[in-house]
Amino acid sequence: MSKPQVELLGISNAIVDVLCHVEPEFVSQFGNPPGSMTLIDRDDAERIYDMMGPATESAGGSVANSVACFASLGGEAAYIGRVAEDQLGRIFNHDMASLDVDVRLPEETRAAPTARCHVLITPDGERTMQTFLGACTEIAETDVTVDTVGAPKLLLMEGYVWDTPEGPAAMQAAITHTRAARGRVALSLSDSFCVERHHEAFLALAEGDADLVIGNEGEVRALFGGDDLDTVRGRAAASGKLVVMTRHEHGSEVFQGKEHVVQAADTVDRVVDSTGAGDAWVAGFLFGVARGYALRDATALATQCATLALSQIGARPQPSALAALVSD
């Protein structure tokens, strides 16, 4: 029996964030550019953790953050992501279920440990990420069936899943089941390096099965190419898809054929923590899309969600604060 229809089904790498404040030298010793996300193996994860200072743990992951925020806004949401039956896996699934997100994969007993992302925060606020994918790498095509996908109005796929062995096949299955149920398909580009790693696949999606393509300026540029921003804009518009391009303090732009929405960012007195601001933006935007808002109104709600995320600590703003945005 299929799961009931939800407004949003997210499929992504299910990750617990391990946040630690470090000095710039701590980051530079690994040779990864500040702000980047690097995949590491279990031994390196242990090694980095041993070197790290005291940390704070909380459920994270880009699309998972968006799904959590979407549910906090009052949207009906479901989630597919692979965690192990360990304490971090329990934390991840708890935090989703506590927001009434329908968690469609149970914790897996035989899996590698639940994924974690070591988020190294330098005094300038930059975050450099070292991710051990663990159980995420075990997501299989057989996890993504007509039963687990159900009939979502919107499917949100995370680009990072293409980094896992069966991720591309699993995503194709998700697309097939969503399309069969007349749902729409959104691709989150994840990061510009991820777009470079999977450029052919992502471009094929943008020209084919994806109805929405979501990314920040760097990611959209990496996908469509273009030396200057107007060229990128032109190609996004020419794709014929609903293309979202977030631009941090420069606001956001949405393209759909001839429609071009430009939304300024809110003035934020003090950015407390930028983590998850983009993910919250996506949640607000997709909530508007799912509820049939005009693009301008969906973009405005998205911006309010991002502003809220900037004013709070952590990747996922307080559910009550998000709910208040749509209760007026």
Interacting residue ranges for its own copies, rule: CB under 8 A: 21, 23, 49-50, 52-59, 68, 86-88, 91, 94-95, 98-99, 113, 313-314, 316, 318-320
Using the minimum distance from each CB to its own copies, give the nearer residue, 86 or 158: 86
Shortest gap between Cβ of 45 and its own copies (angstroms)? Answer: 12
Residue 191: CB minimum distance to its own copies, A: 24
Report in angstroms how near the CB of residue 62 gets to its own copies at its nearest.
Answer: 16
Torsion, CA 250, CA 256, CA 260, CA 263, rounded to 10: -40
* Helix or strand run (H / E) with residue 8: strand 8-11
In the bound state with its own copies, the residue whose beta carbon lies nearer, of 88 and 223, is 88
Pick between residue 52 and residue 146 the one whose CB is nearest to its own copies.
52
Closer residue to its own copies, CB minimum distance, 92 or 224: 92
Output the smallest distance, CB 125 to its own copies, in A: 14
The dihedral formed by the CA atoms of 121, 192, 58 and 74, expressed in degrees to the nearest 10? 130
Cα 248–chain centre separation: 16
Token look-up 């070591």 returns 118
Q: Output the smallest distance, CB 111 to its own copies, in A.
A: 14
- Minimum CB separation from its own copies for residue 99, in Å? 7
Q: Cβ closer to its own copies: 98 or 231?
A: 98
Is 108 in contact with 138 (CB distance < 8 Å)? yes
Helices 277-290 and 319-327, interaxial angle, to 10°? 40
Q: In the complex, what is the shortest distance from the CB of residue 295 to its own copies, in angstroms, rounded to a whole number? A: 30
Write the CB contacts of 94 (distance below 8 Å, at least 6 apart in sequence). Answer: none
Selection from 46, 279, 283, 77 nearest residue 160 by Cα: 279
Residue 136 sits at the vertex; the CA angle it makes with 204 and 191, to the nearest 5 degrees, is 45
Bridge-based pairing of strands 77-80 and 102-103 is: parallel
- Encode 165-187: b = buried (16+ Cβ within 10 Å), e = exposed: ebbeebbebbbebbeebebbbbb
Cβ proximity to its own copies, 68 vs 265, nearer residue: 68
Q: Is 266 helix (H, G, I), strand (E, B) or coil?
A: coil
Give the residue with the Cβ less far from its own copies, 50 or 200.
50
